[in-house]
Amino acid sequence: MKVERMAVIGSGTMGHGIAQAAIFAGYEVRLYDVAREMLDKALGIIKGNIDKRFVEKGKISREEGDRIFNRLAAVTDLEKAAGDADFVIEAVPENLELKKKIFAQLDKACPGHTILASNTSVLPVTAIAGATERKSRCIGTHFFNPAAVMKLVEVVLPVGVAEETVETTLAVCRKMGKTPVRAKDIPGFIVNRLLAGLYMEAAQMVLEGAATAEEIDTAMKLGAGHPMGPCELADFGGFDVIQMATDAIFDYTHKESDRLNILYRKMLEAGRLGRKNGKGFYDYLPDGTKKPFKIF
């Protein structure tokens, strides 16, 4: 199936990165958000990225930069955003009822051939697709943060998805410069399911005093070749997000080792969310440095 026009629903952290990757790939993109200020912020970030990372570094000409940016339009009307889109990627907050509502609206607003993709990290794509009359044309596209840069997209296959939908989605991801990997619609998909195990064991080691967060991070970077240690990565992902993912995975596997470690629960109770509020395994200081936080 030929895809020319895309809509991205939600212009936050993931939405603006996905929109940026899509305009660079040559797609005409309408970016929709309920909040005008989020759209303005997204446009500013994308324009800034094009200028600083591409034009000023001589990777593309100013004219090419303008041409790329002009493929993007910000809209606050869902029907205008998606009414003639071939492919829609939804990136609104991680809330099942909200995503189902948006998918039901998109189902009505979009032509019959349009593929509806959700960027959900942990919610069941099958349930989101269930809110539509086009279940075979719904799919998951799990981009990673920052979406304009990170190469992986987990293409998540809900029950009843058509092979043509999968093939078109894989082609769209490749055109966006990504490497797509198929994953079944089972909690955690691939990356989060494996990371959950790493996060839980790292927290358990800190709790037992087997090693500090800093020692664990240094060991995994230098010994296992990980670019970030598990505690740094958990801080980056955010403990609220880890809680949601781990609960979904545990609900599926019922393995004791998949249960959210008490350390994350305590940090959340203490208002520590990770990098997003500067408080995680580390305290992130205004000068850009970080220092380990003694939890117990």
Q: Which is nearer to ligand NAD, 102 or 231 (by Cβ)?
A: 102
274 is a contact residue toward ligand NAD (CB under 6 A): no
Give least dist CB 210 to ligand NAD, A. Answer: 28
154 assigned to active site: yes
278 is a contact residue toward ligand NAD (CB under 6 A): no
Site string for ligand NAD, 32-61 (x = CB under 6 A): xxxx--x-----------------------
Q: Rounded CA gap, 75 and 180, in Å?
A: 28
Residue of 92, 196, 198, 205 interacting with ligand NAD (CB under 6 A): 92
280 is a contact residue toward ligand NAD (CB under 6 A): no
Residue of 114, 120, 126, 169 interacting with ligand NAD (CB under 6 A): 120
121 assigned to active site: yes
* Contact assessment for residue 54 and residue 31, using Cβ atoms and an 8 Å cutoff: no
* Catalytic residue (one of 49, 90, 118, 142): 142
φ/ψ (deg, to 5) at 89: -115, 120
Sign of CA dihedral 51, 57, 60, 63: positive
89 is a contact residue toward ligand NAD (CB under 6 A): no
254 assigned to active site: no
Find tokens 């990372």 and name the residue.
Answer: 53
Q: Which is nearer to ligand NAD, 123 or 170 (by Cβ)?
A: 123
Q: How many residues bind ligand NAD (CB under 6 A)?
A: 25
Long-range CB contacts (< 8 A, 24+ apart) of 222-229? 229/202
Residue number with the smallest Cβ distance to ligand NAD: 12
11 is a contact residue toward ligand NAD (CB under 6 A): yes
Stretch in the footprint of ligand NAD (CB under 6 A) among 46-54, 88-96, 172-180, 217-225? 88-96
Stretch in the footprint of ligand NAD (CB under 6 A) among 31-39, 200-208, 222-230, 276-284? 31-39
Q: Rounded CA gap, 8 and 146, in Å?
A: 16
Q: Which is nearer to ligand NAD, 205 or 260 (by Cβ)?
A: 260
192 assigned to active site: yes
14 is a contact residue toward ligand NAD (CB under 6 A): yes
Q: Rounded CA gap, 160 and 137, in Å?
A: 9
Residue of 10, 65, 188, 280 interacting with ligand NAD (CB under 6 A): 10
Give least dist CB 150 to ligand NAD, A. Answer: 9
Site of interaction with ligand NAD (CB under 6 A): 9-15, 32-35, 38, 91-94, 98, 102, 119-121, 142-145
Residues recognised as catalytic: 121, 142, 154, 192
